[in-house]
Amino acid sequence: MASVFPVVIVLVIVAGLMATSWVFTRKGPQQTLIRTSLMLTLACCYLMWAIAYLAQLHPLEVPRVNLALEH
Amino acid sequence: MGTHVPDEYPTLFRSEDMSLVQLFVPAEVAHDTVAELGELGNVEFKDLNPDVNPFQRSFVGEIRRIDEMARRVRFFATQIERERDVLPVRPLYDSAPLITVGPRAAQTMDDLDVTLSAHESRLLEMNEGYELLSGRLAELIEARHVLRETAVFFQRAENNQSEIRTSFDDSSAPLLQHEDRENQYSTVSNVQLDLEFVAGVIDRTRLSTFERVLWRVLRGNLYMNHTDIAEPFVDAATGNSTYKNVFIIFAHGDALLAKIRKVCESLGATLYPIDPNADKRVESLREVNVRLEDLESALYNTGSTRRAELVRIGESLRSWEDVVRKEKAVYETLNLFNYDVGRKTLIAEGWCPHFALRHATEESGTSVPPILHELRTSKTPPTFQRTNKFTEGFQTIMDSYGIATYQEVNPGLFAVVTFPFLFAVMFGDIGHGTIILVAALLMILNERKLVRADLGEIIGTFFYGRYIILLMGLFSIYTGFIYNDIFSKTLHIFQSGWSFPEGSGVVHAEPTGDVYPFGLDPGWHGADNALIFTNSYKMKMSIILGVTHMSFALCMQVPNHLRFKRLTDIYHGFIPQMLFLQSIFGYLVVCIIYKWIVDWSKSPTPPPSLLNMLIGMFLSPGSIAPGTQLYRGQGFVQTVLLLIAVVCIPWMLCVKPYLLWRERQRVRGQGYVGLAVGDDGFDARHDDLEGEEEGNGRAIAADAEEEHEEHDFGEVVIHQVIHTIEFCLGCISHTASYLRLWALSLAHAQLSEVLWDMTLNRVLGAEGFIGQILVVLVFLMWFVLTVAILCVMEGLSAFLHALRLHWVEANSKHYEAGGYQFKPLSFAALNEKE
């Protein structure tokens, strides 16, 4: 059954991952860079996936194929 | 000496803290100190003698000597380059370094000077000698040709002797002279041929002119013969080759011969004395051959000695170039210092990153030695972002827009992820992403070798951005999975959410009730109306990503305002801007997501068009046409949001100028007179240096015209008006601008599909041996076109658009870019520049 639930679950998971990456990046000259990159990557990838998922939850169009022409 | 790990590292988030330091360097160690600082590459020195003519500075003499040495080194480099056979030059990393600091430094430099001038004089001598010998060689070869050809002429002339005599009888000369000539000839009787002649060599291009001039001058009283010399004469210095001809001119009478000789001289022909006697000619030929042999061997020896000299030079050339470059930089820097005559020390001022200073202090284990001390200053330090080989590329592309103001938030840090991501949204294809990933990996794995090679401008640029390309590839593979596109095909990893019933003709899929868990459903691939769905999806995705990116960029204002203590800017700049953006476009994003979540098949009203909804929000606020409602209470919510947006405009426009005006009124009211522009409290004269003993350092260089903020009220208002209008209009246009994410990804997908359809689609399944060959050939064509058009061309296009999105849409929300780059004295940077 298509529902929003998976999106919310994954959001929680990604938020958790982001928090983990903030806390557990070891100190060093590259700490800010690694933290920022990891968090931004997680956020961007989640956003991309969530948009694709949400767009197909209750689609307003159905695929239409013309079988006679299909090769 | 403890290896103490600092608590706070400098980050890419903002540029590093810089301190203005003042150095007192005793004159004896000045050179070595500067050389060491150059190796470390941490300090940018200020010019403490700005009014001094470059020819009057203290170290002009040393610089002149170094320039002379540099000229010699350049001369050697060009000589080596000119060699036809490539001469090996020992590269810098392989050469033994020359020690230019320490007690033996002066000796080393003197030795180097002597060595260079000795090499130069030897080389010049050899060059001269070689040219001389080459000239003589050419002459001898010409002489040999003349001897050979004239032998032929004489033979021919002998055979035709009687005819010639007859022709002379027919000449227009009077009888009397004819008799004289006969007498003349009989005296020179051992000559088989009774004619006098002139023989020589002339350029082929001048030959026809020569003949014509002679004919005119001598009125036809001559007999001329000439042949081509087959091999050209190559000029050693210029490399030009000229073709020459041997000629011989028979004429009689001294006057005529004299005229001939003059004509030859004027046209640049070289004359050679030829003996009419055949035996003597053979003798001369032998002599010439012997001399030629000698000359050729001498030439060969000179050539090989010269080459040996150049090889010796090539061994040390790079290290000489390096030393000369460094020494010049050191002395030019020393010229920037101020010479304190009383104490015989040089005083230097420069910017140095705080981190480097502290690090040096901790490493040395003692407190900062008294030769260096920090100054307080009101001048803006340069911007220094410490990058490594990974972040360098990203920082460069953001710096191209403008160097960040000192200590403002650095967009380069975020560009490390957002730039490849936005690129990937426009480029999403698993196959193409893999191709560029492989290309990037090839460059990175061969990094060490490629860094030293001269790759040329284009490949060099690609190599410089190899880490950017790496991330672009990785993200493209991810978005390729989301778009479910691999070389225009789809992957069926999971269970599709559409099932196609049996049938023929037009068939509509039925939903299975499940959503394809990752990315676009493969059921859409090949459907007639696939684009309708994909366009809607991608357009909405672009808007969501765009509004998110812009909101993120807007939030970057806050750390800047906090850092520079501009709290009014947060309340009356950031907040109204954010409210304006969110109340219109944030609302649009929420509506998009809401519309996706609602199951419209179960709703009483049909799904409304969001575009019309947004337009309606502005044109007829508060009233929702029946049948176009998205949610309950929509009219009220939209009115509130619109009001908020409208209120934000005067808020952005008026509040800040008003507060500024009020502050100035208050200040004036308290009786303070505004400080005149340019009256810098740190303006010090030279006698103020005495004060340093107590430790209150003053900057020596009185900076002229430090730009003070114009407190002219009119300017502030105008600035605010421009800023408000720019922001409000920009919101709308920038949001629409993000639709390029949709446009480019559509174009990419379509191009990919067309390429497949036009090439491989037509030959796959071809039968027979011919069919197999055809498939291979067409595959090659498909692959080459994929790389050239879809990866390189589309890649560059997506790169450019992603960069534009960062520069215009994102940076305009927070980036001031008013700084100047930190340019330390660094020998490593000098080497890179060469």
| Identity at B500, one-letter amino acid code | F
Task: Give yes or no for A20 touching B (CB within 8 A).
Answer: no
Q: Does B513 touch chain A (CB under 8 A)?
A: yes
Number of A/B CB contacts below 8 angstroms equals 144
Alpha carbons B323 and B96: distance in angstroms, whole number: 11
Name B711's Cβ contacts closer than 8 Å, sequence gap at least 6. Answer: B664, B674
Backbone Cα Rg of chain A: 19
Cβ-proximal residues to B710 (8 Å cutoff; 6+ apart), any chain: none
Q: Do A64 and B504 count as a contact with CB atoms less than 8 A apart?
A: no
Residue in the block written with tokens 């949709």: B742
How many helices and strands, by DSSP H and E, does chain A display? 2, 1
Place of tokens 């050239």: B788
Structure confidence at residue B368 (pLDDT): 45
- Check residue B390 and give its pLDDT: 94
Nearest to B48 by CA among B344, B345, B336: B336
Whole-angstrom distance, CA of residue B677 vs CA of residue B711:
10
Task: Answer for the pair B149, B248: CB distance below 8 angstroms, yes or no.
Answer: yes
B8, B388, B417: best to mutate for the A interface, most A CBs within 10 A: B417
Q: Angle at CA B674, nearest 5°, toward B669 and B677? A: 165
Strands laid side by side in the B270-272 sheet: B223-228, B244-251, B196-203, B270-272
B416 token code pair: 């490390």
CB of B514 within 8 Å of a chain A CB? The answer is yes
Q: Give the DSSP H or E segment for B761.
A: helix B760-763
Q: Where would I find the H helices in B335-390?
A: 354-364
Residue pointed to by tokens 């309708």: B532
CA angle, B642 then B647 then B653, to 5°? 135
Residue A69's pLDDT is 54
Give the residues across from B486 on adjacent strands: B489
Minimum-distance CB partner of A55 among B425, B596, B598: B596
- CA dist., res. B355 & res. B357, Å (int): 5
Best A41, A46, A47, A69 member to test B by mutation, with max B CBs in 10 Å, is A41
Per-residue DSSP letter, B675 = P
CA distance B210 to B436: 67
**Contact criterion met (CB < 8 Å) for B413 and A56:** no
Q: In 3-state terms, what secondary structure has residue B520?
A: coil
Closest to B816 in 3D by CA, of B414, B386, B403 = B403
| Contact of B424 with B829, CB cutoff 8 Å | no
Task: Give the span between the Cα atoms of B577 and B590, in whole angstroms.
Answer: 18
What pLDDT is stored for residue B171 in this prediction?
53
Which of B735, B797, B750, B743 lies closest to B538 in space, CA to CA?
Answer: B743
Decide: B722 and B575 in contact? Cβ < 8 Å.
Answer: no
CB–CB contact A67 B505 (8 Å): yes
Distance from CA of A26 to the nearest CA of B (A): 12
Asked if B498's CB is within 8 angstroms of A63's CB, the reply is yes
Contacts of B420 (CB under 8 A, 6+ apart): B468, B471, B472, B474, B475
Interface of B with A in 8-27 (CB under 8 A): 9-13
Test the A interface: residue of B596, B742, B761 with most A CBs within 10 Å: B596
* CB contacts, 8 Å: A2 with chain B: 497, 513-515
Q: Exposed (0-12), middle (13-18) or buried (19+): which is B544, by Cβ within 10 Å? A: buried
- CB–CB contact A58 B509 (8 Å): no
Verify whether the Cβ–Cβ distance A58 to B599 is below 8 Å: yes
Sole residue written with tokens 């997908």: B749
Min Cα separation B823/chain A (Å): 22
Strands (DSSP E) contained in B370-476 are 372-375
Q: Give the bridge partners for B508, in sequence order.
A: A64
The answer for A 31-70 residues in CB contact with B (under 8 A) is 31-33, 36-37, 40-41, 44-45, 47-49, 51-68, 70
Interface touch A32/B11, C-beta < 8 Å: yes
CB contact under 8 A, B510 and A59: no
Q: CB distance from B540 to chain A under 8 Å?
A: yes
Phi-psi sector, B503: left (phi>0), alpha (psi -120 to 50), beta? left
Distance CA B743, CA B773 (A): 37
Q: B544–A62: do the CB atoms touch at under 8 Å?
A: no
Per-residue confidence (pLDDT) for residue B673, from 0 to 100? 58
Task: Give A57's contacts in chain B (Cβ within 8 Å).
Answer: 515, 596-597, 599
Substitution target in A32, A46, A58, A67 with the highest count of B β-carbons within 10 Å is A58
* A57: closest chain B residue by CA: B515
Beta carbons within 8 Å of B698's beta carbon, 6+ residues apart = B375, B682, B684, B688, B689, B691, B692
Measured CA to CA, the distance from residue B561 to residue B816 in angstroms comes to: 12
pTM of the model: 0.81
Say how far apart CA B312 and CA B250 lie, in whole Å: 55
B41: left (phi over 0), alpha (psi -120 to 50) or beta: left
ipTM attached to this prediction: 0.96
Q: Does B510 touch chain A (CB under 8 A)?
A: yes
What gap in Å lies between CA B143 and CA B284, rounded to an integer? 10
B244 — phi, psi (to 5°)?
A: -130, 160
d(CA B436, CA B466): 10
Q: How far is CA B697 from CA B344, B376, B570, B761, in A?
A: 19, 7, 36, 78
Q: What gap in Å lies between CA B215 and CA B245, rounded to an integer?
A: 18
Q: Is A64–B529 a contact, with Cβ atoms under 8 angstroms apart?
A: yes
Residue with structure tokens 């870019």?
Answer: B817
Structure tokens, A65:
């194929």
- Give the number of other CB atoms < 10 A from CB of residue B802: 26
Which residues, 6+ apart, have CB-to-CB distance to B212 below 8 Å?
A: none
**3-state SS assignment for residue B540:** helix
Q: Please report the sign of the dihedral spanned by the C-alpha atoms of residue B350, residue B355, residue B358, residue B361.
A: negative
Report CB contact under 8 Å: B509, A62. Answer: yes
Interface of B with A in 413-452 (CB under 8 A): 413-414, 416-418, 421, 425
Interchain CB distance below 8 Å, B527 and A47: no
Query: Residue B558 is encoded by which pair of tokens?
Result: 């806050």
- Answer whether B238 touches A (CB < 8 Å): no
**A36 to B478: CB separation less than 8 angstroms, yes or no:** no
Contact predicate A33/B478, CB 8 Å: no
Average pLDDT for runs of 10 along chain B of length 834: 61 90 84 86 89 85 92 90 79 78 83 92 91 88 84 75 53 50 45 67 87 85 82 74 85 83 86 81 88 91 90 88 90 87 83 82 55 81 92 94 93 96 96 96 93 87 95 97 94 90 85 89 91 95 97 95 92 94 96 93 88 90 84 91 94 91 85 53 42 45 44 84 93 95 96 94 86 92 96 96 96 92 88 65
Query: Which residues of chain B are within 8 Å of residue A11 when distances are taken between CB atoms?
Result: none
B529 touches chain A (CB under 8 A): yes
| Residue B409 phi, psi (nearest 5) | -60, 135
* Cα distance between the two ends of chain B: 36
